[in-house]
Structure 1
Amino acid sequence: MEVINSRGISQYDICPVCKNEVECLDHALLYCAFSSSVWNLWPENPMRIHGIRKSFLDSVFFILSHATLQDLELFFTIAWAIWSNKNRFVHEGSGLSPDQVWKSAKANAEDFACAVIRDHNGQVVAVLCKPLQACFFAELTEIMALEQGVLLAQEPQLPRIIVESDSSNAIQAIQENTTGSSFGHLI
C-alpha cells in the first residue's frame, strides 16, 4: 500500500474496512478487526495456539516451518479470502461477514492438492498447491497430491525423495506398487 501511495496513485491511507488504522499489508491481512475476527474462527490456527503475532511474511515462514500442509493450505486460502473480501468492500461497497469469509475459505481449501518439499533439515524448499478440477474422495485427493509432489521433486532433479502422507492407504498402495486399484494409473 505504501509503495502505491508513494507513486502518486490515490489510495486509502486509512483501512477502508475498519476505518481505524493506516492500511498496510499486515493490517489488511492480519490485524484489522475484521481480519482478526476471521482468523479467530480457525480453531486450530497455529499462530494463535503458539502466540505468534508477527508480520504477514513472518507468519508465512512460521506456518511453513511449524505447521501441517493442511494448515498451510488453509492459511493462504484465508488470506486470499480476506483480501478478496476487502476488494469487494472497496469496489462494491459491501462485503461478507467474518463467518462467511471463514466458511468460504474453508470450503475453497478443501478443493486443492498440495505438496511440500523439505530438505534433509526439514526446511521448506518448494511448495505447490493446485486446484482440483472436481470433487474427489479423500484417498484419491491424497494420491493426486503425492503425484504433484513427485512431479515437483523432478523439476530440480532430486536424486532421492521420501514421501509422506496422512493417508496410510495411499502410502501402502505406493509401497505395494498397486497398479490394479482404482487409482493404480497414478502410482
Structure 2
Amino acid sequence: MDVTCSLCEDYQETLLHALWLCDQAKSVWKSDSRFSGLYRKAHRSFVDLLDFVFEQGSVFFVALFSTIAWCLWQHRNKLRERQPMWPIQEIYQRAKELVVEFFEVHHSELAGIGVVVRDSSGNVMGALSQKIPRPQSVEHAEALAACRAVILKELLLFQACFEGDCQRVIQAINACGPSRTLFGHIIEEIHYFSSSLASCSFVHVCREGNKLAHALARRAVLSADTDVWVEELPNDLDDIFRFDLVQ
C-alpha cells in the first residue's frame, strides 16, 4: 500500500503531515497570519495541534481551522481518486466563505455595519466594524452606517466626502427638509453631526467601489460588538483594500 503523501509525494503520509506539515498544506495555512503563528510550536500529532487550536482560538477561528483541514483532506482524497477538485491555492478562500456563510445564517438576529475613513489619496485613516440588532431594512442599516461615519469625523479635518452605495439613503440625506422615511430619525442625526464640518458632501457610489465597508460589516457579525482601527486595517482585509484602491 502506498503511504507516500499525495500532495507533495516526498514524505510518508501521516495525518499531521498531510494536513499541516506538507509544503502544499502549509501554503494554504500561511494564507492567514493567525495560522502561520501556530507553526512556532512543534506539535506531536494532529490531535495535539487541534487541542491547541481549541484552547487558543475563538469559535470562528476553530470553525475556520476545522473547515480548512476538512477541505485539505477532501483535496487529498480526490487527488488520489483523480476526481475534480478545488485548486490548492483556492482552498483557504473557499473554506472561509463556507464558514462566513454558516455564521451569517446562524446569527440571523444580528447584522453588521462597516465604515472606512480615507484621506484624499485613498489611504485608510480609520475603520469601524459594529454589530447591531437586525434592522428593519437594508436602507436602515445603510443609514446607520452613514451616521457612524459622520460621528467618526474626529478622524478627519474639516472637510469630508461621505460615500455610500444605497441611493435611497444618499438621496434622503441630500434632500431639503425633514425626511419622511422610516429611517428619518437617523437622517436627522446625520444632519446634526455633519453640521460641525466646514464642508461635507454625500455621494452615491456603486457597490463594487464599496467592498471594504461591506467586508467590515460581515466581519462585525463574527467578532466583538464594536472594533475600531486607526490608520490600519485587520490583516484579513488587506486584499480587499488593495482591490478598492485600483477601482
Equivalences, count: 118
Match of 1:69 among 59, 70, 75: 59
> Which has the higher relative contact order, 1 or 2, with Cα contacts under 8 A spaced 6 or more apart?
2
Aligned to 1:85: 75
CA deviations over 1:105-142 (Å, ceiling 9, x no partner): 111111224xxxxxxxxxxxxxxxxx948988455899
After superposition, the Cα gap between the structure-2 partners of 1:50 and 1:28, relative to the gap in structure 1 and judged at 3 Å, is: closer
Cα distance in 2 between the residues matched to 1:22 and 1:81:
20
Percent of paired sites with the same residue: 23
Q: Which stretches in structure 2 are left out of the alignment for 5+ residues? A: 113-130, 135-222, 227-247
**Deviation of residue 14 (structure 1)?**
0.7
Match of 2:17 among 12, 19, 27: 27
Cα distance in 2 between the residues matched to 1:91 and 1:132:
33
Moved more, 101-110 or 47-56: 47-56
Instruction: Report the AA paired with residue 64 of structure 2.
Output: L
After superposition, the Cα gap between the structure-2 partners of 1:27 and 1:49, relative to the gap in structure 1 and judged at 3 Å, is: closer
**RMSD over aligned Cα, in angstroms?**
3.1
CA deviations over 1:115-173 (Å, ceiling 9, x no partner): xxxxxxxxxxxxxxxx948988455899xxxxxxxxxxxxxxxxxxxxxx7236xxxxx
Match of 1:53 among 19, 42, 46: 42
Instruction: Report the AA paired with residue 81 of structure 2.
Output: H
**Deviation of residue 36 (structure 1)?**
0.9
After superposition, the Cα gap between the structure-2 partners of 1:20 and 1:140, relative to the gap in structure 1 and judged at 3 Å, is: farther
Secondary structure of the structure 2 residue equivalent to 1:16 = coil
Aligned to 2:238: none
Indicate the structure with greater strand content: 2
1:166 paired with 2:224, answer yes
Cα distance in 1 between the residues matched to 2:22 and 2:38:
19
Q: Which stretches in structure 1 are left out of the alignment for 5+ residues? A: 1-10, 114-130, 143-164, 169-187
Aligned to 2:150: none
After superposition, the Cα gap between the structure-2 partners of 1:49 and 1:14, relative to the gap in structure 1 and judged at 3 Å, is: closer
TM-score normalised to structure 2 length: 0.41
TM-score normalised to structure 1 length: 0.53
Cα distance in 2 between the residues matched to 1:44 and 1:33:
17
After superposition, the Cα gap between the structure-2 partners of 1:140 and 1:19, relative to the gap in structure 1 and judged at 3 Å, is: farther
